Amino acid sequence: MSANIKQTNTAPLQTVDVEGVTVDIIENALKNAREEMDAVLFRTAMSPGIREQGDCFPMIANVEGKMVVGQFGSFIGPFLEVYDGEIEEGDIILTNDPYLCNAAVSHLPDWLVLKPVFKDGRHIAWTAMFGHMSDNGGMVPGSIPIEATNIFQEGIRIPPIKLYKQGVLQQDVLELILHNVRTSQWNRFDLNALVAACNTASRRVIELTERFSDDILHTTMGIMLDRNLEAMRAIINMVVPEEPRYFEDYLCDDGMGMGPYKIACKLWREGDKAIFDFEGTDPQAQSSVNFFLNEDMFKMFFGSFTINVVDPQIVFNDGFYELVDVRIPQGTLLKPNYPAALSGRTHALGRIFDVLGALLGMGAPNEMLNAAGFSDSPHLFYSGYDENGEWFQLFQIGFGGIPGRPIGDGPDGHSLWPGFTNVPNEFIESYFPLRIEQYETITDSGGAGLHRGGNGLSVAYRFLCDGEIGIHDERWLTYPWGVNGGETGMRSTKRLVRTDGSEQWLPAKVEGIKVKAGDLLYFNTWGGGGWGDPFARDPQLVLDDVERGLVSVAGARRFGVVIGGDTPGAHSVDEAATAALREQCIAERGDEVPLFNFGGSVEEIRARCEAETHLPAPEAPSFR
């Protein structure tokens, strides 16, 4: 580590014997403290993105910066590797610049707070929390400019600085930062909330040492990390093959007319070590869709995925990182060269989860393989001046269809992000000049399968004031793929209906669109891919979906099911016609059921693009 931790008590922490019941008590206390961090943040933050949606990630770590409990790991270790300053008791560090903290955060709107925990002059732990700020300055409201070509256009860059120095707030530094953002009041409250959450967790850690001792806490943290190490060692040997396994997927476009961009990854095991090699990933993009992927962060993605699949009761932490080797070529979409723009990294981040799920699921398609559906985290931005002349600025994260899974159907219109919730429509309508006139799932948008992919969402926003909107979304060109014979999900679309009745189909990535009071935006997200043979799905389940409006009568035929009756409640399965249709469908398809269904060849997908999405396919030098 480069950082110098200044301690007045330099006695090293010791490893001691700890009874099992004590380990359990401390483990649960730390888990509760992590939950309390969220509670403090949500009750004191101001922006809807953090307060209502939960766009934040807490952690408690040992003295080395290894997350012991939390949601996302990897913050502190990468930061400590590059921070060359002195850290003292009472210091609280703030940063948001991926290039200056080894991608501990991956774009500027995420403000990261780190607090070293001291007791009696001795450094005993870390607490940390980052939250997505509503604004960070830069070219556009919301600070995720699509057409940014370097990071200087994306807002204020905060190097690792001491927001608090020996317990004293550096007020001039704070005011300088807030002077460069559009939502200074929200950012001030949100930042204070991040600090309060870290302070709360720090007090809980100190209380544990006062009850049990510094050494017992230190030893217990080590035991928790070791438990995770051994659990992941067994999981890696169970799910990662020695023979290389390869998968690739594509980011649809960069918002500036180029794409798709390939994300390629090869996975294999050497001894107990899992190796992920991203050789073959396309070069960095011209726009802000680059994702500076820290290797430890990807290890965290891998651990979180496998633990939740194999045994969710395992406490997820950073203990297993030595068992994973991540190789990302410099100058690619996932490790761009400075000063490449990074603010739109969410698209590639979402696609990483689809790639990871495919790689790990290939070896056990009936137990671990999900279809595609994470795919993205769609954003809507709406800003302007209301009827009172007051500035308003909305940043909203939307949800799509969760993929079909080995255990069942994918949920409809849901988030795959851990702990994320939708912002209540009542909240949006109370605080912003718009009305939500439709909030419903899109019938038939989920891929057909033995387990149906979740339907996407259609949200209709009626703008009540003149303003400007921006949209960030994905899966408008490439399909959310199906697996084990399942069909693809529907692609996303965005349609703006003007007050004069004219319609405008908007790209999935667009900004600076002027809207007038009365204009209506239909924000339609993608559906999840289907899992398994759709012709093996119980016809009664298809009928239930038809009755609930999730599948249409015509859409039921995708499952080889014929529905009779004209009105809801009077529908029924025509068993004879269903048997005949399924026999015909199976004969036409053949006995070979593909492991992955990408929606056809590259040429076919591109040819259908304009017809289905009303948008031309992007220039595609890298789509092969």
DSSP states of 401-451 as a string? PPPPBTTBPPPSSB--STT--PPPHHHHHHHSSEEEEEEEE-TT-SPPSSB
- How much is the pLDDT for 622? 47
Least confident range from 283-287, 300-304, 560-564, 617-621: namely: 617-621
Closest to 325 in 3D by CA, of 239, 236, 410: 236
d(CA 15, CA 24) in angstroms, rounded, equals 17
Contact 373, 416 (CB under 8 A): yes
User: Stretch 43-62: mean pLDDT, rounded?
Assistant: 91
pLDDT, position 449: 98
421, amino acid identity: T
Does residue 379 contact residue 397 with C-beta atoms inside 8 Å? Answer: yes
In tens, the pLDDT along 244-269 reads: 999 999 999 999 999 899 999 999 99
- Please state the separation of Cα 58 from the chain's center in Å: 15
Is residue 3 within 8 Å of residue 80, measured between CB atoms?
A: yes
Predicted pLDDT of residue 77: 79
Residue 73 has pLDDT above 80, yes or no: no
φ/ψ (deg, to 5) at 163: -70, -40
H helices of 322-424, in order, are 346-361
Nearest to 608 by CA among 501, 500, 486, 493: 493
Per-residue confidence band for 315, with pLDDT thresholds at 50, 70 and 90: confident
pLDDT at 274 over 70: yes
pLDDT of 375: 67
Range from 424-433, 492-501, 512-521, 560-569 carrying the lowest mean pLDDT? 560-569
| pTM attached to this predicted model | 0.94
**Alpha helix positions (H), 45-170:** 48-51, 76-82
- Could you tell me the maximum CA-CA distance found in the chain, to the nearest angstrom? 83
pLDDT bucket at 612, cuts 50 / 70 / 90: confident
**Amino acid found at 98:** P
Arithmetic mean of pLDDT, 431-448: 96
Q: Which residue has the higher pLDDT, 591 or 241?
A: 241
What pLDDT, on a 0 to 100 scale, did the predictor assign at position 602? Answer: 73
Interval 263-278 mean pLDDT: 97
Share of the chain above pLDDT 70, in %: 98
Burial, 389: exposed, middle or buried (Cβ in 10 Å; 0-12, 13-18, 19+)? exposed
Structure confidence at residue 74 (pLDDT): 66
How many C-beta atoms surround the C-beta of residue 105 within 10 A?
A: 27
Q: With pLDDT > 90 as the criterion, what percentage of the chain qualifies?
A: 82
Residues 6+ apart with CB under 8 A from 208: 26, 29, 30, 217
Chain-centre distance for alpha carbon 222: 29
- pLDDT value of residue 624: 35
List, in sequence order, the alpha helices (H) in 388-538: 425-431
Question: pLDDT tens across 112-138, in order?
Answer: 999 999 999 999 999 999 999 999 999
Evaluate if residue 517 carries a pLDDT over 70.
Answer: yes
Give the chain's radius of gyration (CA, Å).
Answer: 25
Minimum mean pLDDT range among 43-57, 212-226, 336-350, 488-502? 43-57
Alpha carbons 446 and 401: distance in angstroms, whole number: 7
pLDDT at 611: 84
Burial letters 344-364, b for 16+ CB under 10 A, else e: bbbbbbbbbbbbbbbbbbbbe
Euclidean distance between CA atoms 155 and 143, whole angstroms: 6
What is the spatial distance between Cα 461 and Cα 458, in angstroms, rounded to a whole number? Answer: 10
Q: What pLDDT is stored for residue 613 in this prediction?
A: 84
* Residues in Cβ contact with 64 at an 8 Å cutoff, skipping those fewer than 6 apart: 77
For the ranges 189-203, 204-218, 405-419, 522-536, the lowest mean pLDDT is seen at 405-419
Helix and strand numbers (H, E) in the chain are 12, 26
pLDDT surpassing 50 at residue 623? no
Rounded average pLDDT over 40-44: 94
Residue 307, classed as helix, strand or coil, is helix
Contact (Cβ atoms closer than 8 angstroms) between residue 597 and residue 529 = yes
CA distance 487 to 481: 7
Q: What's the pLDDT score for residue 608?
A: 86
Are the CB atoms for 110 and 130 separated by under 8 Å?
A: yes
> Cα separation of 227 and 74, whole Å?
18
**In the structure, what pLDDT confidence band is assigned to residue 310 with cuts at 50, 70 and 90?**
confident
pLDDT at 1 over 50: no
Question: Rounded to whole angstroms, how far apart are CA atoms 37 and 33?
Answer: 6
Say if residue 509's pLDDT is above 60. Answer: yes
Paired with 510 in beta bridges are 471
How crowded is residue 194: how many other Cβ atoms within 10 Å of its Cβ?
Answer: 30
Say if residues 80 and 62 touch (Cβ distance below 8 Å).
no
What residues are paired with 60 via a beta bridge?
69, 127
The residue among 71, 134, 99 whose CA lies nearest residue 382 is 134
Compute the average pLDDT of residues 469-489: 96
Tell me the average pLDDT of the chain.
Answer: 93
**Which pair of structure tokens corresponds to residue 218?**
């230190």
Strand ranges inside 533-610, DSSP E: 563-564, 572-573, 596-597
3-state SS class at 169: strand
Q: Which neighbouring-strand residues pair with 102?
A: none
Instruction: Provide mean pLDDT across the span 87-92.
Output: 96
281, 263 Cβ separation under 8 angstroms: yes
Q: To the nearest 10°, report the CA torsion of 410, 368, 60, 420.
A: -10
pLDDT of residue 166: 97
Determine the Cα–Cα distance for residues 109 and 129; give it in Å rounded to an integer: 13
pLDDT score at 316? 86
DSSP state of 103: T
Q: What is the mean pLDDT of residues 75-100?
A: 90
pLDDT at 97 over 60: yes
Quote the CA–CA distance of 321 and 77 in Å, as a whole number.
11
Q: Indicate the pLDDT class of residue 21, thresholds 50, 70 and 90.
A: very high
SS3 144: coil
Please tell me the predicted confidence (pLDDT) of residue 610.
85
